[in-house]
A and B are shown apart, each in its own frame.
Chain A
Amino acid sequence: DGGITQSPKYLFRKEGQNVTLSCEQNLNHDAMYWYRQDPGQGLRLIYYSQIVNDFQKGDIAEGYSVSREKKESFPLTVTSAQKNPTAFYLCASSTPSRRGQGNSGNTIYFGEGSWLTVV
């Protein structure tokens, strides 16, 4: 089946610990995204990547890091510098871009999300 797979579904982090959330897609999508969801705040963009080996910071990148070594994979590391990491994290990807138009207007599809809790 084609889709976006996030793992693990639930993750617990101790104080001072780095953790990595996995995101894999087999949709042949060029662009991938990480969003954070907090109650009452909608979704906020952490990082995004439009092509392999390239990524840009979103609105709330502090305390997070990413890599894009393969088209299919876009892991997110939540570092100890992120002081309030407890949230629902959503990975997404978008359809291949039309030449010269980037990814604008393309539908963004989401994975099932990962819950991260600090213990």
Chain B
Amino acid sequence: AQSVAQPEDQVNVAEGNPLTVKCTYSVSGNPYLFWYVQYPNRGLQFLLKYITGDNLVKGSYGFEAEFNKSQTSFHLKKPSALVSDSALYFCAVDKRTGKLIFGQGTTLQVKP
């Protein structure tokens, strides 16, 4: 069973508009949740994570994510997209094992 789902292969948004990249998970208990970004031919960069506490998590580069336990979601958001935000975004789950399980990735295209 897939633990992490990113339902959109690609998200297109105009510069200056808000963006959302969706992530849902299907693990029991209280997993830890992460978002990473990958630029072409590069490694992954950590954006933010949810461990406990406030459901709204703020991270790097103006990104934030909202943990919703009832909907088992952890969508990544940004109020105003930049062209430089165009990249591949990964959601990941840690089922309290210290290992990450990744979603398939969502390509974000921000057009000027």
Contacts and interface: CB of A to CB of B under 8 A. Distances in A.
Given A40-B104, A45-B99, A105 B43 contact: no
Interface stretch (B44-52, B62-70, B75-83): B44-52
Closest 6 CB pairs of A and B: A103-B98, A110-B43, A42-B102, A110-B44, A43-B102, A112-B43
Nearest to B6: A42
Given A42-B102, A43-B102, A111 B94 contact: no
A41 B104 CA distance: 5
A42 B45 contact: no
B26 to A, nearest CB: 15
Contact of B43 (A31, A45, A90): A90
Interface in A16-48: 31, 33, 35, 40-45, 48
A107 B104 CA distance: 19
Nearest to A97: B98
A42 B103 contact: yes
B43 A113 contact: yes
A105 B31 CA distance: 9
B32 A104 contact: yes
Interface in B16-56: 32, 34, 36, 41-46, 49, 51
A105 B51 contact: yes
Given A109-B46, A110-B45, A50 B105 contact: no
Contact of B98 (A6, A43, A50, A110): A50
A106 B92 CA distance: 13
A105 B96 contact: yes
Contacts of B94: 104-105
A43 B32 contact: no
B100 A108 contact: yes
Contacts of B36: 110
A42 B100 contact: no
Nearest to B52: A105
Interface string A85-119: 00000101010010000111111111111000000
Nearest to B96: A104
A63 interface: no
A105 B32 contact: yes
Contact of A42 (B32, B43, B90, B96): B90
